[in-house]
Structure formats: structure tokens, C-alpha cells
Chains A and B, each alone.
Chain A
Amino acid sequence: MTTIIRTMLTGLFRDMHTMVWTIVFPVAMLLGLGLYIQDGSYSERLLSGVLTTNILFGSAMVTAFYVMSHRNRGIYKLLRVTPFSTIAFIGSVTAARTVLALIVSCVVVCMSILVLGVKLSALSLLLMVIILLLSTVCFTAIGFIAANLSKDESNVNMISNVMCFPMILTSEAFYSLQHAPEWVSVVGRLLPFHYFVEAMGIAVQHPVTAGEILKPVGVLFGFTILCLTVAKVTFRWDSEGGIIRNSKKRALSNEGA
């Protein structure tokens, strides 16, 4: 598994497109908006917003395209005739994405401290790492679900947009929803991104208390388990037909029905 994760990371770091959109873009957004607004409390919200949206796009949308591309190229079909398990492969993809997300988040946090003067305690940083790890797994699983429900590239684009944009628009990642209609908050509370933003918002606050963060982290954990389960159940080996649920063991069964 380590060989697979290492090779995947090598590929990710060599890809200019990934580098620009995953590292340069969030840093430029953080510094651009932070220096333009120059407000200490908004800098904290901005840090939280940039970290969370970066995970949402980097994990959910990128994974959706990645999985779709692998599946349509027949990589999963070939993977299925090897002894390597699906869960191990999904785990490897998630782990590679998590490492990348942590590196990007580290760069974003350093920039916010050095340039925008955001103050973060050791507890804040620890909580942020835990939340980032949990959310990366959750949103990578959502990326798998989007790919599993899609037939082709245009389909995956539409489905991942349908999944991700309501999460951003009904969250308080960049702005307060205090004056928004009640239904916006209600919809938001049904989606995992709301709890991710809430948890991250609490973690970057100064001072932070671990007690407040338990509820959003707990709900996010629940969403993570749910999304992983749905991703596993709906996983498709190839682009033909519907969702195949048979396990590797059943596939290797040598008896017909």
C-alpha cells in the first residue's frame, strides 16, 4: 500500500494542474482577500473558509473525476483480476489525497500566521489536524459516490456540482447566514460541510475550548461512516451496466448460480 500511496503522491506533485488548483489557488485566495479586507476576525473566518472549501473541492470533486477516469480506462477492471482489495485501493487513494490536503493546509495556515497575523494555539492546531483528517476521508468518499453514480465525464461534472455547490452555498464558510432565510440553514444542517465549517470555525477561534467542538466533529464522524459505507456499496468496477455489489470473493467463485 505504501508503494501505491508514494507513487500516487509522486504523480500528484508532478501534475502542474493539481499544484496550481490545490496549492497556489487557495494561498492566492487567502492572501488576496485577507490583505484586501484586513480585519483580524475575518482573517480567522477566511482561514477556516479556505481550508474547508479546499478540502471540499480537492477531495470530493477531484476524487470524483479521478475515479471516473480510472474506471472508464478499465483500470478497476484490471485491478479486479489482481489479489489487491478494493478497500485497500480506496484507502490508498484517500491516504494520498489526505497527505496532499495536509501539506496544502499546512502552507495555508503558515501563510495566514505569517502574513495575516492569525494567532493559533497548539490545541487549535491539533484540533485542525484531526478535523482535516476526518473531513478529507468524508469528502473523498463523497467523491467516490459522485463517480459511482455517474456514467461519463460530463455526468460526473454535473453530479459533483450538484453535491458540492449546495454545501458551499448553505454553509458559513465565507459569510454569515444570520440574515438568510431559515430554509437555507435547515438545508445546510443536513449536509456534512456545515459541520466541517462549524468545527473548523471553532478550532481557529482564539481561545478555543475542546468541549464546543465535540458536537460538529461527532456529526462529521457520523457522515464519514455513512459516506464510506455508501461509497463501498455503490462502487462500480467498470462503466458497463449498473452498480455491481458482488465482492471479490463472490467474483472468484467458480460455480454458476
Chain B
Amino acid sequence: MKTMIQVDGLVKKYGSRTVVKGLDLTIEQGEVLAIIGPNGAGKSTTLDMILGLKQPDNGTIRYWCEDPMRYIGVQLQSTPFFPGFTALENMRMFAAFYGLRLKDIELFTQLQACGLGEMAKTDAARLSGGQQKRLAIAMTLLHKPKLIFLDEPTAALDPRARREVRQLVQSLAQSGTTVVFTSHDMEEVQKLASRIVMICEGSILASGTAEELLAEHGASSLEDLYSALTDRQFT
């Protein structure tokens, strides 16, 4: 399996507080990697450093190609849309950011693929939470990325919207796209991830497939394992 991103000894400090403590991580081509951990564990900071949004204080990040951002898609926790713009116009704007000159019919097809065909001319701000997440993912996929980062893609969604987003992630994984996502939902992590990395207080506590982690720690569920490992860290 080809390594897409190799992170070695990553450190990030905010003042005197070290939020990421010498973290090592690899992202392999074709995998669905779940990064889990409590709030403030350093997950988002790690992703931000990988994406070049934050400068690490130490450590190295190596990418599989010279210009990785051309092949990476990012969905942030918030759903940032241009105010007053329709779903289609937001798609057009982000396509232009990637230097793509897509016709409206092509953008519409992409929206349809994410189940938003009927909402193309609706103000993005008026879409439901689930629709906004799907629009954010549709925007992420415009330039056909090889690797996508999804930061809590199903947070604050109702069960139906959650299922729709999960199906979308599964179809992406099946098409060979490498997916890295963060989540607090252990059931979702178990269903979607081919590998799990558990982070707490800026360090990796455990890493492997769900089956490996459960067997290694003798836990009956990911939720139990998560509680046990994070409790041990905090006590």
C-alpha cells in the first residue's frame, strides 16, 4: 500500500501548553482512517497541521506528491458557504478555486450524486443540517481528490441524515478514495473505518483495525475501549 502522508514527531504548542506531543502517523492509500479522541485531544490541530493551516513547532510531514493540495479535499466541522448564494453557486465558486471551469449541468450532476439535485437553486444557508453537510462534501469532491479529510461529518445530524452521509463516505471508499475522518460516534467508526487511531492529550493511545484494538485490549466494544483508554489517561 502506498503511503500518502507520513507524519513524524509532530509537535504543536499554544503558549506553554503542548497540544500535540511528538505524534507519528501514516495515511495509506485507499484506507478509511478514523481519528478519534475526546474534545481537545489534538485531533483538529493535527489535521490543521497536515493541511498546512497551522505551522508545527516541530516534526515533519511528508506528502506523496509535490503539490498535495490539488489532490486533497477538505470538509470542515463548520459548513462554510457564501452567504446569499445558492447550492449551485457555492459549487461554482469552489470549482473556480480549484481552477475548474465546470458547466452548470456538470455541477448539477455532482449535486445530484450527493442527493441535492432538487436543492440546486436553494440558498445554501436555508438547507437542512444534513443537506448542508452533503453540500460541503459535494464541494469537497469537485476536483476529484485522491484523499479527503472529513472533520466530524455526521455531527449534529438526525439519524436519517447521518445514514445518508455514511453511505456517501462508503461509496467514496469503494471508489478508491482515501478517507480520513474524525468522529465521536463509535458505532459509525466501527462501520466505516478500515483503521482507527485514538488520540488523547496530543499523543496516540492506540492504533489498528477495530478487531485488532478490541482483541489487544480485551474490550467488548469500541465505546468501552475508548472509555477505558481515555479514563486511564485522565486519571
Contact = CB atoms under 8 A, between A and B. Distances in A.
Interface of A: 1, 3-4, 7, 10-11, 14-15, 69-70, 73-75, 77-84, 237-238, 246, 248, 250-257
Contacts, number: 97
B10 A256 contact: yes
A11 B74 CA distance: 25
A138 B63 CA distance: 40
Interface residues of B, number: 39
Contact of B80 (A7, A11, A73): A73
B80 A77 contact: yes
Given A79-B97, A256-B57, A257-B57, A74 B84 contact: no
B60 interface: yes
Contact of A11 (B57, B89, B97): B89
A73 B90 CA distance: 13
Given A237-B53, A248-B52, 17 more contacts: A7-B93, A11-B82, A11-B84, A70-B82, A73-B81, A77-B76, A78-B76, A80-B52, A82-B97, A82-B98, A84-B97, A250-B55, A253-B55, A254-B60, A254-B61, A254-B63, A256-B56
Interface of B: 9-11, 51-53, 55-63, 67-70, 72, 74, 76, 78, 80-85, 89, 92-99, 101
A82 B52 CA distance: 11
A251 B55 contact: yes
28 contacts: A1-B96, A3-B95, A7-B96, A70-B80, A70-B82, A73-B80, A73-B83, A74-B78, A75-B81, A77-B53, A78-B74, A78-B80, A79-B97, A80-B52, A80-B53, A81-B51, A81-B72, A82-B97, A82-B98, A83-B69, A83-B97, A83-B99, A84-B96, A246-B55, A251-B55, A252-B69, A254-B60, A256-B9
A185 to B, nearest CB: 40
A15 B53 contact: no
Contacts of A3: 92-93, 95-96, 101
Contacts of A80: 52-53
A80 B74 CA distance: 10
Contacts of A69: 83
A15 B85 CA distance: 10
Contacts of A1: 96
Contacts of A4: 93, 96-97
Contact of A256 (B60, B76, B82, B96): B60
Contacts of B95: 3
Given A74-B80, A257-B56, A82 B62 contact: no
A190 B10 CA distance: 48
Nearest to B74: A81
Interface centre among B59, B70, B89, by most chain A C-beta atoms within 10 angstroms, is: B89
Contacts of B55: 246, 250-251, 253, 256-257
Nearest to A250: B55
